[in-house]
Amino acid sequence: MRILFILSSFIIINLFAHAQESLKDKLKRKLAEAKERTTDQTIDKIIGKGEQKVDQEIDEAIDGKPKSTKKSTATTENDVQKTAETAANASTMKLSASSKFDFISGEKIIGFEDFKEDAIGDFPAKWNTNSSGELVSVTAGTGKWLKFGQKGIFYPEYINALPENFTIEFDMLVSDDLSAMQSGLKVIFPSLQDRNLTFDQYFTDKVSVSLDIHPDQSNAGTSNIFVIDNNGQNILNNDAKFAYLSSKVNRVSIWRQKSRLRVYINESKVWDLPRAFIPNINYSILFATNIFEGAAFLNNLKVAVGAPDTRNKLITDGKLVTRGILFDVNSAQIRPESGGILKEIANVLQENPTVKIKIVGHTDNDGVATANLELSKKRAEAVKTTLSSIYNIEANRMQTDGKGAAEPSEPNTSTQAKANNRRVEFIKL
């Protein structure tokens, strides 16, 4: 009987313990679910805050600290305001850092490529190659990107002889596995008659200027330059280091002024060669690769006729039109590579302190007309603010206006035409 009692007691105790354990597990699960709901609600409330603030709010919700709704709302508005101010300040700092950037984008665009007219997976229809390549999407940048084949010649057939004063700009990316061996992306300026798919990218004796941009994976890279004269002699052969943003979009800017060549990567000058181009030679452009491993990508190629004499255009002619002030897509945020032309305009205004100007923004016809009009006005105002805050031009010397797409410089019938219509005018008052 005693044994039966002990056995019964043991069974009852185990059942009770099991019930307690089940209750404990259920409580834990309910608590976890409650915390998860609270966390989700908290995250919803604080969208737009910085990561640190999000973590703090989640921790407080899980810990069960009381929070008043009114206080939470006030804090959110505060933080949104601070986030916006921080972003604006960061952008101003970037533009400020580029204020020594002396590159000035050309006056009229003669070639523009963002591959909008081509399909993902295709090689662009207006280009030619002796290799392969395709348009792809990339995580580091927006739009379609031309992924070059690892070895070959590539060029836009619609760009022929270049003027003796021109600018070329493009966005560049390389894959994370790009090899340090062989080359990166080559930009070659051969004579127009020699620009073809049999051009020798390795040991040519044809008139040409060859530039190799070869990033590595340590936010740096090496650039090589070769110049072949009209006697087939290599008269310049050198290399230089440059800073490169790994896994990010990098901006390459090339500027020819007669015989002189300047090359910039991310607003930093890499080359400044006074005797690179030979007079009276019709140079053209091609790209080449000889990549051991990995890939190179290109987008937003812009070729333009060299910039005008800013001082003469604004002071004497009374009007300066520039496509060199660039903005983020559908935004009035000025991009850092606009620093060169902004600095040049500021210099003219500083040297002529009695001159007053009107800044007028223009867009292409993509999108809604009313939105384009408002955007053009905001962009003009952003230019005024930048000239005042960074380059110390008195705000009362500048008026602003925007025309949207109402006054195109040419019909919006092509990608190139639309690029020319996205412009900023400075009118002497």
Q: Which of 217, 208, 292 lies closest to 248 in space, CA to CA?
A: 217
pLDDT (tens digit, 9 = 90+) per residue, 260-297?
999 999 999 999 999 999 999 999 999 999 999 999 99
Residue 319 pLDDT more than 50?
Answer: yes
**Exposed/middle/buried for residue 30 (C-beta within 10 Å: 0-12, 13-18, 19+):** exposed
Q: What is the mean pLDDT of residues 247-265?
A: 95
| Cα distance between residue 251 and residue 273, in whole Å | 20
Query: What CATH superfamily classification does 309-428 receive?
Result: OmpA-like domain (3.30.1330.60)
Residue 257 pLDDT more than 60?
Answer: yes
173 CB-near residues (< 8 Å, 6+ apart):
138, 140, 141, 145, 248, 249, 250, 296, 297, 298, 299
Q: Which of 254, 273, 129 lies closest to 189 in space, CA to CA?
A: 254
Q: Do domains 108-305 and 309-428 have the same CATH topology?
A: no
| CATH number attached to the domain at 108-305 | 2.60.120.200
pLDDT (tens digit, 9 = 90+) per residue, 13-62?
454 444 444 444 544 454 444 444 444 443 343 334 444 444 444 344 43
pLDDT (tens digit, 9 = 90+) per residue, 320-355?
999 999 999 899 999 988 999 999 999 999 999 999
394 CB-near residues (< 8 Å, 6+ apart):
388
Q: How confident is the model at residue 8 (pLDDT cuts 50, 70, 90)?
A: low
| Cα distance between residue 72 and residue 57, in whole Å | 10
pLDDT (tens digit, 9 = 90+) per residue, 71-86?
444 433 344 344 434 4
194 CB-near residues (< 8 Å, 6+ apart):
206, 207, 208
Which sequence spans correspond to the domains of the chain?
A: 2-88, 108-305, 309-428
Cα 374 to its chain centre, rounded Å, is 23
Average the pLDDT over each of 125-129, 175-179, 307-311, 375-379 and give the range with the smallest value. 307-311
Q: Which of 103, 111, 114, 165 lies closest to 286 in space, CA to CA?
A: 111
Quick one: DSSP state of residue 77? H
Q: Which of 389, 388, 410 lies closest to 397 in space, CA to CA?
A: 388
Q: Which of 214, 220, 269 lies closest to 245 in space, CA to CA?
A: 220
Residue 204 pLDDT more than 70?
Answer: yes
Here the tokens at position 190 are 């051969």
User: What is the pTM assigned to this prediction?
Assistant: 0.73
